[in-house]
Amino acid sequence: MISSSPLDALERIASRAADLRDLYRPGAIPRNGDVRTAPAAVPSSDPLTVAVPPGAWLVMRTADGARAYGRDGALRVDDGVLRASDGSEVLGYPSGDARGSVPATLRLPATDRALGRGADVHIEPDGVVAYTRAAIDPRSGVRGVERVAIGRVALARFPAGTQPAQRDSTHVVAPLGVVPHLGTPADGTFPALATYTRDAGSLDFDAGVERLNEAYRRFQALGALVKSRAGIDKTTMDLVR
């Protein structure tokens, strides 16, 4: 049976390896604080991809219905619903105003979905999710296009000094008793989103590799110690016999 010390060493290796595995996952959050660095942003040609301001989080509903927060701004529209790359719903305010409102699902109108509209859906710096559709002036009969906004994404910020609890590699949750401040991009309390840009995570690659190597070296040293002790125990038993 493996003792707790070798098991702990193996868990450390797994944790370090998982951080490196998630290096290129949008919005990845390292499990180990000693390899974290400032979030990096890279350009994107996708109009639904954004980078969230430092210290802010997108408000999400995960597959199990739980409220969570993340920085994965590589968004998409799936079945008419705005989602993160892992399928979590990105919540916001259909009215565009956060005051007195609870973040809700942002979705395209069913009629426009049925008619194949919304192909040019995009996110603007103030968090508005919009698209265009053909329109006809009922009085003049002139054809044109109109801008349709389905809402504004919600942002969250935790009180100063609060460390959110990590749920998985791309989500955190609020600690017990902590209520985050909610708002919207460019509302006077939150900066605007960086459009056509995505969060590339906050892992210091060099530090991550070094910590993984350290974890392997510790495991090897522990293995040598266990092997040595096993040899001593065997010799002792032979002498007793």
Q: Note whether 90 and 64 are within 8 A (CB).
A: no
The C-alpha angle with vertex 44 and arms to 40 and 50, in degrees rounded to 5, equals 65
Residue 200 host element (H or E): none
Task: Summarize the confidence of residues 136-143 as an average pLDDT.
Answer: 74
- Dihedral angle computed from the Cα positions of residues 156, 157, 162 and 168, in that order, rounded to the nearest 10 degrees: 40
Bridge partners, 76 (sequence order): 83
Structure tokens, 37: 């660095």
| DSSP reduced 3-state for 112 | helix
Residue 233 structure tokens: 């125990």
Instruction: State pTM to two decimals.
Output: 0.79
Reported as a pLDDT band with limits 50, 70 and 90, residue 1 is very low
State pLDDT tens for residues 174-221.
999 999 999 999 999 999 999 999 887 777 778 878 888 888 788 777
Helices and strands (H and E) in the chain: how many = 3, 17
| Exposed/middle/buried for residue 37 (C-beta within 10 Å: 0-12, 13-18, 19+) | middle
2 pLDDT tier (thresholds 50, 70, 90): very low
